[in-house]
Chains A and B, each alone.
Chain A
Amino acid sequence: DVKVTQSSRYLVKRTGEKVFLECVQDMDHENMFWYRQDPGLGLRLIYFSYDVKMKEKGDIPEGYSVSREKKERFSLILESASTNQTSMYLCASSDPDEQFFGPGTRLTVL
């Protein structure tokens, strides 16, 4: 079974802090994704990566950056967290047919 794990299920940070969200997949997938999920807005793509050290902006990249130093790991970085980044963050990896999701990290920025 494909497994996508995320470093934390719940995270509480203060405004202005630098926040790292980690995602690891164990199926040697080339493609990895970061989404945020908000009620009534569905999933919105923040960034994706199709290879090590490669990254592409999604629909809402502002305020975020990413890092992919190893194939299995894709990190989302909030350089200076703000309250409007309070959300559920979902990581996914994919083969050509399907995306596989992690359990999500619920981030609260106070």
Chain B
Amino acid sequence: AQSVSQHNHHVILSEAASLELGCNYSYGGTVNLFWYVQYPGQHLQLLLKYFSGDPLVKGIKGFEAEFIKSKFSFNLRKPSVQWSDTAEYFCAVNAENYGGSQGNLIFGKGTKLSVKP
């Protein structure tokens, strides 16, 4: 079965530190890749997505992610985090033909990021 792994459950950083959150998926075919973020008390919202083309994708709030097909990875990065980036981050994959329905996503278990001021 397809799966998504996020390597870190909880990451604690100081402001201005660089961030990289790992995400690996298990599906061998064509995939669409997403990072969602959930700020405290708010609903999940899309950070960025990759469908095709340039494997380096830029999203909102200075985040970017790189798709490396050979490593089945889609790691999220930010050069300098802020206290306001404290949130939970979810990687997700839409594997073509999974579940027979367009838009069906498989989510990782999430990584909590705590940024100390």
Closest to B109 in A: A42
15 A-B contact pairs sorted by A residue (CB < 8 Å): A40-B109, A42-B109, A42-B110, A43-B107, A48-B104, A50-B101, A50-B102, A56-B99, A56-B100, A56-B101, A92-B44, A96-B103, A97-B51, A98-B49, A99-B105
How far is it, in angstroms, between the C-alpha of A92 and the C-alpha of B9 when the chains are bound? 24
Task: Please indicate the chain B residues that have their CB under 8 angstroms from the CB of A44 in the complex.
Answer: 107
Closest to A42 in B: B109
Contact partner of A31 among B34, B103, B107, CB < 8 A?
B103
Q: 1/0 contact trace for A8-43 toward B, CB 8 Å?
A: 000000000000000000000001010100001111
Number of interface residues of B (CB under 8 A): 23
Listed in ascending order, the chain B residues whose CB lies under 8 Å from chain A are 6, 9, 34, 36, 42-46, 49, 51, 90, 99-105, 107-110
A61 at the interface (CB under 8 A from B): no
Given contacts A97-B51, A98-B46, A102-B43, contact A42 B108 (CB under 8 A): yes
Task: Please indicate the chain A residues that have their CB under 8 angstroms from the CB of B103 in the complex.
Answer: 31, 94-96, 99
Task: Please indicate the chain B residues that have their CB under 8 angstroms from the CB of A102 in the complex.
Answer: 43
Residue of A95, A98, A103 ringed by the most chain B CB atoms within 10 A: A98
Q: How far is the CB of B48 from chain A (nearest CB, A)?
A: 11
Closest to B10 in A: A40
Task: Please indicate the chain A residues that have their CB under 8 angstroms from the CB of B108 in the complex.
Answer: 42
Q: How far is the CB of B40 from chain A (nearest CB, A)?
A: 12
Secondary structure at the A interface, as helix, strand, loop or mixed, is: strand
B9 and A40 contacting across the interface, CB-CB below 8 Å: yes
Task: Please indicate the chain A residues that have their CB under 8 angstroms from the CB of B51 in the complex.
Answer: 97
Closest to A41 in B: B109
How far is it, in angstroms, between the C-alpha of A81 and the C-alpha of B110 when the chains are bound? 27
Task: Please indicate the chain B residues that have their CB under 8 angstroms from the CB of A42 in the complex.
Answer: 6, 90, 107-110
Task: Please indicate the chain B residues that have their CB under 8 angstroms from the CB of A48 in the complex.
Answer: 99, 101, 104
Q: How far is the CB of B92 from chain A (nearest CB, A)?
A: 8
